[in-house]
Amino acid sequence: MRWVYEMNMWKNPTLVITIWKVLLLAAFAPALLLFFLTLEDGIGSALLVFVEVMGIVAGIVTGLMLLAYPLVAMINGGIYCVIFEMDDHCIKHIQMQNQFKKSQVLALIVSLAGVMTGNVQVAAAGMLAGSKQSSLSSFEKVSTITVNEKRHVIYINEKLSHNQVYADSADFAFVKNMIISRCKKARVIYQ
């Protein structure tokens, strides 16, 4: 089964929320490292360092998102277009070639901003964000499925891999049921 989904980037916040979470997650590891390195000064001091680093990175990431996301949305004509291929064993999320190239521009902006501010984790997260054109989820490895019908998205989570599947209102129930029926071990969560 194959389908194309065109998301309105102005009305559906799924992409901006996902990008923001990924960038913050990238900042978590260095902040945690600093927490452990300053732990000898006391738990209070270590927690303060952790909160400061996460706060600074959250501010930088939020500022970058407020600037870059509207720019990317305008460049893409306000539409995020993606192709899905699904069979009995897996589902593949493929970003259209022209949009992949445009998203690499956003990743470059984020990376450069990270370098200019001396924030290694933001630079690394930007580089990581611009390197992936497709995601493959093997149904036998899926541990959780989160369904958000309002935003037309089904989150498919493996232990170390996450995928987002989009479907139009008319096809959403069918796609959701096909995925759930093939992910025998997965816990299903409805939002």
Q: What strands lie across the sheet with 79-86, from one edge to the other? A: 2-8, 79-86, 90-95, 134-138
* Band (72; pLDDT cuts 50, 70, 90): confident
* DSSP for 4-51, written as a single string: EEEEETTT-THHHHHHHHHHHHHHHHHHHHHHHHTGGG-HHHHHHHHH
Q: What is the mean pLDDT of residues 86-95?
A: 90
Residue 52: which domain range? 2-190
**Per the confidence metrics, is the pTM higher than 0.95?**
no
pLDDT at res. 181? 96
pLDDT at res. 180? 96
Q: Among 30-39, 54-63, 104-113, 163-172, which stretch is predicted with the lowest mean pLDDT?
A: 104-113
Q: What is the mean pLDDT of residues 91-117?
A: 64
pLDDT at res. 131? 46
Q: How many structural domains comprise the chain?
A: 1
pLDDT at res. 66? 85
* Band (76; pLDDT cuts 50, 70, 90): confident
Amino acid at 84: F
The DSSP 8-state label assigned to residue 133 in this structure reads: S
Ramachandran category for residue 12: left, alpha or beta (phi over 0 → left; psi -120 to 50 → alpha): beta
20-53 per-position pLDDT tens digit: 887 788 778 888 888 999 999 999 999 999 999 8
Say whether pLDDT at 73 is over 90.
no
> How many Cβ atoms are within 10 Å of 183's Cβ, its own excluded?
22
Q: What is the mean pLDDT of residues 100-105?
A: 52
